[in-house]
Amino acid sequence: MAAPGSDIEHGYPHLDMVRASLTALYRRLSRDTVDTFGLSVVPGDVAFSDQDDLHLGVQRVARVMVQHMRLPDARMIVSFREMRHAGNVELAAGPEYFIELNSRFKTHRRDIGAALAHEVTHVYLHRLDLAFPGTRDNEILTDTTAAYLGTGWLLLDAYRQDAVTSQKLGYLTPEEFGYVLAKRARLFDEDPSPWFTSPQAYEAYAKGRELAERDERQPPLAAAGWTGRRRYAKDRRSAQSGHPSPTGGDYVFEGGPPLSVSFPCPTCRQRIRLPVRGRLRARCGLCRTVLECDT
């Protein structure tokens, strides 16, 4: 949790790990399971006013997160204490999990849903036995999973800044949250922007969406723009002439004859390998996205 007034990191410093997290999630869950998360948590389900009883309200929001993440037999016991981070969860065999939230949430209740989204996703990944080596990478996996499966828009909405204070929850930058949410929006035809109460969150989502859209316009995808297609054609001629495979984009030419090209799926980032033979339609073997290509 970024402290009020602290500098907040922007841009895409964790983009490679975010993309690796999407691939790992599809490998562990399958497309069919991902599709069961087609509806996000809605604002009304996590609304928390100052007039609500603190502990009853926290338990209510925790149940919303548990139900959304398909953890019907998991019981979350939530308490508050002074700490540096937004929250912490004790990962054990269950069914009871002990979550601690930063004491500042007692008076900043609007962000309790965001903090619980992150901690309950830790429990979900623990039960899936899905993890990366290292604390930092696991936290990025957790934020990416929360955003992609329908609770993490709350983490982006908790990003707020004005002339004297700033706040951000989670390990991803605001733009990286926007990128993952845009990937989700594309998959489920869902627009989270009306839910944002923070203007900074909306701006970060718009920037992340631009990058997510560029993923779908990279050669050899048929939707690539003129500049990308021209560069790809030049690199393809070089590869066909026996020169080392160019590295000007995400694609890599391999083997030959016949020559093939590999590139990341714009949905799950799993690499796809296709023959170089002009226009064709391909289906990603991992997420089953159908791709129009011009190799």
- What is the reported pTM? 0.94
Asked whether the beta carbons of 162 and 198 are under 8 A apart, the reply is no
| Average pLDDT over every residue of 206-214 | 98
HSE at residue 85, side-chain half, CA atoms within 13 A, is 12
* Residues 6+ positions from 267 with CB-CB distance below 8 Å: 22, 183, 186, 187, 284, 287, 289
Query: Can you read off the two tokens belonging to residue 294?
Result: 């011009």
pLDDT in tens, 264-280: 999 999 999 999 999 99
Whether 135 shows a pLDDT value over 60: the answer reads yes
Asked whether the beta carbons of 170 and 136 are under 8 A apart, the reply is no
pLDDT in tens, 89-113: 988 777 889 999 999 999 889 999 9
Whether 5 shows a pLDDT value over 60: the answer reads no
Q: Which of 111, 143, 113, 112 is nearest to 125 (CA)?
A: 143
Burial of 259 (0-12, 13-18, 19+ CB in 10 A): middle
Whether 240 shows a pLDDT value over 60: the answer reads yes
Residue type, 191: D
Q: What is the largest CA-CA distance in the chain?
A: 72
The per-type count for the chain, helices as H runs and strands as E runs, is 10, 10
What is the DSSP code string of 145-211?
A: HHHHHTSTHHHHHT-EE-SS-EEB-SSS-HHHHHHHHHHHHHHHT---GGG---HHHHHHHHHHHHH
pLDDT in tens, 9-61: 999 999 999 999 999 999 999 999 999 999 999 999 999 888 889 999 999 99
pLDDT-derived band of residue 246, with 50, 70 and 90 as boundaries?
A: low
DSSP class of residue 42 equals P
- Tokens 């930063």: give the residue: 102
Number of Cβ atoms within 10 Å of the Cβ of 233: 12
Residues 274, 295: Cα–Cα separation, whole Å: 8
| Phi–psi pair at 80, nearest 5 degrees | -125, 145
Euclidean distance between the first and the last CA atom of the chain, given in angstroms as a whole number: 45
Asked whether the beta carbons of 117 and 101 are under 8 A apart, the reply is no
User: What is the four-CA torsion angle of 88, 206, 224, 272, rounded to 10 degrees?
Assistant: 10
- Tokens 């048929």: give the residue: 222
Domain limits, the chain: 14-216, 218-294
Residues 169, 249: Cα–Cα separation, whole Å: 32
| Average pLDDT over every residue of 125-147 | 96
